[in-house]
Structure 1
Amino acid sequence: MNSLILTLISIVLTITVYFGATALSRRVVSPFTTPILTATIVMIVILSSFDISYEQYSSAKEWITSLLGPATVALAVPLYKNREIIMEKLMPAVFGLVIGTLSTILSAVWISKTLGLSDTIQATSAVKAVTTPVAIEAVVLIGGDPALAAAFVITSGIFGAVFGPALLTVTNISDPFSRGLGIGTVSHGIGTSQAVAEGPVTGAVSSVAMGASAIITSIILPWVYPLIQL
């Protein structure tokens, strides 16, 4: 099959599957019907069934990924509309961001060490909670694997989108600001897509937390990681 035709079919298929997953999540409300999870599973099954490799699908992925830029910029709209709420709670938010980012790095590395995993995996796990472009650059500074970092980031984001809101609900955290801060700090863009579905405040705060945690991680990681290894 012509590569261009395969790319176009893959794009249309991906969009169709995602809309279907979104419709399912509205009908069946459950952490396990989160669109990003069900759409990912369905796409893996379809691609495997038709023996389409990741390399063949990657051109479609790049087209779709290019839309992340405008989508991220679009998050500025709810951010602007809720700017007064964000500024009002700015200092507690900054404190929570720093603690949350540090906790994510420390827990990931310590769990990896406890399980006896290799130094490469330990280093790579430290960046699992930040967005992929930042993760693959930052992980090089501490001896991790960029390709593995991308896989960790995606997995972490899916788990955060699926279980994050439910865990916050179980622990009686209902404030939209707090929920957005928690989801964005540990689940980057994938989690933020779920936070947006909860409401404008949650989505706006999550988008800010996503960007801020990436900046904080890239600054402190080269200094913190060597200390963890002592």
Structure 2
Amino acid sequence: MFKRILITACYTGAIAALLLTLVQSLWISPLILKAELLENAEATHEHVQTQQAHSHAAAEHIHDSKAWSPEDGWQRTLFTFGGNLVVAIGFALILCALYNLRAPTKVWHGVLWGAAGYVTFCLAPAAGLPPEMPGSVAADLSSRQEWWGATAFVTAAGLALLAFGNHWLWRSVALLAILAPHVVGAPQPLEHHSVVPAELLAQFQLASLSLNAVFWMVLGGLSCRMFRKENAGAAPLDGINSLA
């Protein structure tokens, strides 16, 4: 069973990651490059002001070597694909594990699982922490990670109760769980500041959310199709497929 799950996740994740990287390079990357140009221009302006306010000797302590980052072009695309591949295989493993608990009978069932994954890991967290661009001030990283993780967890639990709960009480608890992180509110910076124009930021957020939706639909549909193909001749496991 584990071998079938791993094979399905690897093939599905590779295809979904390739598609994601291709669309990112055509749609998302140009927007990020524009934001980086604005961020670098702002940093240069602040550096010039610092040099004017301090003597040359004091300014020497400000010059720090820049951290390494992949260059624009094939190097950046390759590293992006590597990151997308790891994430896609990880999410595909989660989907395939869930298929063993409730085996899908149609490909569109996998698309529904993908939609649930999109809501859990993208849409719900983005309601409080929308996609960010370079040049924007954000809240403390650890606070954002904790809120993101809690939101994803309660959203997944809430969707499970809504889908499989057979009593109105469980569904009421599910709705309260899904709304709870947004009532508490996501961590916000003390001062909002961004060098990125609002129009560019809106384009980036729309592109990110739209691309992630496509990614999850493809991941769900492909993983379901390959899972059913890999398990076509396999003997059902006692107590697992019977849940379906």
TM-score normalised to structure 2 length: 0.22
Task: Give the structure with the larger helix fraction.
Answer: 1
Structure having the higher Rg: 2
Return the structure number with greater relative CO, CA threshold 8 A, min gap 6: 2
Q: TM-score scaled by structure 1? A: 0.23
